[in-house]
Every structure is written in C-alpha cells, then in structure tokens.
Amino acid sequence: MEPDEVRELRESIQHDLLTIMRPKQQTTSHAQPHQPRQLLANKLNGGSLRVKFEAGEEKRLALLAKPLTMDSLNNQVVQFFGQKMDMYFYNSELKHLQPISTGQELELAQATFDCMTHVAYMRIVLSPDTSAFGPSPSPSSSRRLSP
C-alpha cells in the first residue's frame, strides 16, 4: 500500500469509530441522570447530606447540613424515633456496620461515604441505646452482615 492509501484508510476508520461512538455517548448521558461521577460531585460540593435512618422496620430519610455532628445526628434520631439510640454506619460495599459513637467515628463514616460513588444517601442503622443497661461494646468493634 502506498502512504496516501494508508492515510485514507486510517482516516476512514477513525471517522467510522467516531460515528459509532457519538450516539452511545449522547444516549448514555441522557439515559442515566445519576451517574457515579455526578453523585460524587453532588456529595462533595453540596452543603447538605441525605441520611437514611433505619430502626428495625421503620426507615426515615433526612437532609442534614454538612459537616455532620454527633449532636445533629442524635437530635434527628430523637426527633424521628423518640429516644436516643446506638448508631452504626452501613458500608454497602463491604456489607459492614461501623459503630458511630464519637465525632472521630462519624468523620470516618462520612469520609467513607463520600468515597462511595454509587450511593445517594448515608445509611445509618439504629439499635436501642445499651448504655442505660450497662457497658457498651468497644467503640473499635464492628459487625459484619451476612448477605
């Protein structure tokens, strides 16, 4: 093949590839309004955070100001469920419950959530406050859920 033929062939292939790829890019952006990158940008840039509280069968969703504080979470739990409860952040990627009893644990949970690009809200599982009944489990302990 001569250099001109090779160039024409290469340009033709590139044009065909561009033609094939354009419709896919356009339909993908319109078909999936909540793409992972968009969710991550919304989480990092927004001044608020969607939090889903789950206590047994009862579930409540709240929009809380960032950065989260233990006081704001505890107040929301009392408002929704009428009592203070132990809180656990649910990491859906690891199927893992991480206790939230200190500000440091809350910051870690929020940082973990911010890295989860496919999740739209922070999930907090609640259980009755055990501090009234005796010593609570070690804050560093965590639980794993079976699938």
pTM: 0.60
Neighbours of 70 (CB within 10 A): 15
Residue in 74, 62, 71, 76 with CA at minimum distance from that of residue 123: 62
pLDDT in tens, 61-92: 999 988 889 999 999 999 999 999 999 999 88
Q: What is the mean pLDDT of residues 10-38?
A: 57
Q: What is the pLDDT of residue 17?
A: 64
Mean pLDDT of the chain, nearest integer:
76
Q: Comparing C-alpha atoms, which of 123, 68, 64 is closest to residue 98?
A: 123
pLDDT in tens, 13-26: 776 666 666 654 44
SS (H, E, C) 118-134: CCCCEEEEEEECCCCCC
DSSP-assigned letters across all residues of 87-145: EEEEETTTTEEEEE-SHHHHHHHHHHHHH-TT-SSEEEEEEE--TTTSPPPPTT--EE-
Residue percentage of the chain with pLDDT more than 90: 35
Q: For 84-132, what is each residue's pLDDT tens digit? A: 999 999 988 888 899 999 999 999 998 888 888 888 889 999 998 765 4
Model confidence at 40, pLDDT cuts 50, 70, 90, reads: low
